[in-house]
Structure 1
């Protein structure tokens, strides 16, 4: 039986340890939480020919403006996935690599095509979402609406997934549906409290609806928690 990620997508590794570390590393990355790099490094060390933790690690390097390291790992992941990878994994690696290289129009086109084929690939779906996603940096005037519509399109594939609720609610808030957005984001946050992106999204909604005292309490809790 093939190993899978948390969303039920097959992984091209035979190592239970590498698959487990990759799943954990992805969750940490999607939550914006500490330990992401170290966990992905463990997956890479356990199975050096497994391309997905390598491209995820490249993305973490990109978050920290470590461009050379990000591009080096993206290049290696491209090489590895052609030798041992499914069609989905090849598309996954290529889409993330395009984003890492700053090739925004190509990355957006590849993302949307990929999501049509594999809507539960959360790592790829994460690329256009959030305040620092591809849509926000694309120059499109209606990027808030685009994020919301994308989330609505794939919502049936995610149900009560903590990450998706966080990002979908955030998109609602930024698109002007603040009350619904806050409620959805808080649902996701309550499912996984160790989630910096959710805290950020909830604070956005609180400031938008005027809940300044609640925002201050949440901010204080995050600082001391």
Structure 2
């Protein structure tokens, strides 16, 4: 029989769930009994669309990206998952009115707390505090998705690329970005050749310096001016 979460895991769960104290003790115990901790290596999938019904997970540490794949195999990142983030779309098999498949892939080694989809579905019906919290997170994530769609449709690629480089700098906490042109194209939903041409233009303008598998941000101020231009 599976043991309940240990004290460290319980402390993490209570810390990241603002609704924890408002939940009935019976529902807290159900979480404690059914949640498991799982390790995911960089490059591995945490969720692969309709092939999985993984459940809800919380990121103890690591980094992952949530993305769509088109019929022509083109990818676009919807949002990133960082330490302490939660993911509910990985339980889309039990979420009503979710009619699209997302994929979730580890960008760094991850450690997650996983709640099975059937338990999540049960708790959403029985625990008002948890259901309210989960619905708030889902609404926030769909806002993120709509922002990405808006940027893709209405914003020029140079601004989107500048925004991406600044976001990556914030995530890595470094101006030296170890990322390939192909990876950037998958994030932005465009062709690698288009990203390469734009990065070369950025280099000619003195915004970045390019090397194999890496990009160094040289002029963050001008990148911000480009990214947030009216």
TM-score (norm 2): 0.27
Q: Which has the higher strand share?
A: 2
Q: Higher RCO, 1 or 2 (CA under 8 Å, sep at least 6)?
A: 2
